[in-house]
Amino acid sequence: MKKSVLKKYANLIVKVGANVQKGQDVIVVADVDQEQLVTYVVEECYKAKANAVEVRWQSDKVAKVIYKKESIKSLSYVPTWKIEREKEVNKKLPCLIYIESSDPDALKGVNQAKLAQVSKNLFPVFKPLRDERENKYQWVVVGAPSKAWAKKVFPKLSSKKAVEALWDAILKTSRCGDDPIKAWDEHNKDLANRSSYLNSLNLDYLHYESSNGTNFKVWLIPDANFLAGGERIIHSGVYFNPNIPTEECFTSPISGKAEGIVYSSKPLSYQGELIENFSVKFKDGKAVEVHAEKGEHLLKEMIAMDEGACKLGEVALVSFDSPINNTGLLFYNTLYDENAACHLALGKGFENTIKDYGKYTKEELKAKGINDSSIHVDFMIGSKDLNITGYTRDGKKVAIFKNGNWAF
């Protein structure tokens, strides 16, 4: 990859994604194979007048060894310094930049029940700390190819060619072309217009239908908005884009109010393994039955993680004729695949979808219908013949999606 292109991507990440402000601290989380990109990102942060930049390195290979060898007790132990580090993050509210390059099969062979138990043990320790800073800081998730990920997407190419091909797809879908900032400004305006129209409809519920068997209804929170593209920090007004790329208009539905069955349209990468060709049946708002050709045990463990894991936290609308889907690629990475098709998410909902959410306590937001959980797992259900009909609170019927794409 040319240095000039990597630098342009780094500039996009820092300026459009995190929108680093003068005097802010920044934390960059990345795999060890992304040293060059991280270097340019750090440089761009300082160009934006960041105060200090910390890089936290990760490794799939090391993580796999640790998860295999350590006991649940050891993996669940949280030393005091980690708690203090989280408290320092809450105090300074740095920008967080996540660069994803993990192998979709990174943790294949690791005991998934063990991973699930460790997650359950750690959740009550870190949740209060993370809740404290929610919606108060800028963050962005972006992708960068590793050899393992690239070979998963392009198995017939050499490692070098596969990485080049995946870079090309990532840059294209991230709108990192001649003028990325202008492209993102236009894209955000389009998404804002779509979400504004959806909000004007005063929708009560959505009905999904597809020839693959999907027949599903989900009810929406009366004072929740559809959001899309960039977001603003409630206390500072700073605008940032949490996902690069993004194509979705999304909201959080009423926790515990959904009926019917949905069928996946793309595999789901979950905890380093793939779940393929699966269905989820909802009754009284809960996932009561799941089936999968591959990874069914993972689905069952997922919805049993905690009380809210079997309920929905998000409904997201994405045109089938999206730039990501039009690549014809399966990325095996949720950041990209969720933006290729309509999707739902099991688990935690988004508090900032509620109008004037800053005025309410977490308990009040939960009472309005925002689901809470230790997980938030997106899975794709969009197809080329998916139809979505909206039913308004004053009894009208509105076409939202027709044959997989926006009906307006």
pLDDT in tens, 260-278: 999 999 999 888 788 999 9
Each residue's pLDDT tens digit, 171-193: 999 999 999 999 999 999 999 99
Indicate the average pLDDT of the chain: 95
User: Which residues sit opposite 217 in a β-bridge?
Assistant: 207, 259
**63-to-74, 75, 102, 272 alpha-carbon distances in Å:** 14, 11, 11, 11
Residue 210 has pLDDT above 90, yes or no: yes
Going by C-alpha positions, the residue among 338, 347, 343 that lies closest to residue 286 is 347
Instruction: Read off the pLDDT of residues 85-103 as tens digits, 9 standing for 90 and up.
Output: 999 999 999 999 999 999 9
Q: Reading across the β-sheet that carries 227-228, which strands appear in turn?
A: 227-228, 249-251, 312-317, 343-347, 376-380
Question: Per-residue DSSP letters for 136-147?
Answer: SS-EEEEE---H
Q: Considering only CA atoms, which of 292, 208, 299 is closest in space to residue 258?
A: 208
The fraction of the chain above a pLDDT of 70, given in percent, is 100
Would you say 233 and 138 are in contact if contact means Cβ atoms under 8 Å apart? Answer: yes
Contact 234, 358 (CB under 8 A): yes
Distance CA 221, CA 311 (A): 14
**Do residues 202 and 385 touch, judged by C-beta distance below 8 A?**
no
Query: Where is 402: in which H helix or E strand?
Result: strand 397-402
Within its chain, how far is the Cα of 281 from the centroid? 22
**Residue 234: per-residue pLDDT:** 84
Residue position matching structure tokens 């959001």: 227
Judged on CB neighbours under 10 Å (0-12, 13-18, 19+), 2 is exposed
Question: What does the alpha-carbon distance between residue 192 and residue 18 come to, in Å, rounded to a whole number?
Answer: 19
Tell me the average pLDDT across 324-339: 92
Please tell me the distance from the alpha carbon of residue 386 to that of residue 263, in angstroms, as a whole number: 11
Burial class (CB in 10 A: 0-12, 13-18, 19+), 395: exposed
Q: For the chain, which domains are there?
A: 3-173 (3.40.1830.10), 201-406 (no CATH)
- Higher-pLDDT residue of 167 and 134 is 167
Annotate 148-169 with b (16+ C-beta within 10 A) or e (fewer). Answer: bbbbbbbeeeeeeebbebbbeb
What is the distance between the alpha carbons of residues 336 and 330, in angstroms, rounded to a whole number? 9
Return the pLDDT at 274: 86
- The tens digit of pLDDT for each residue in 374-397 reads 999 999 999 999 999 999 999 999
Residue 256: its H or E element = strand 253-263
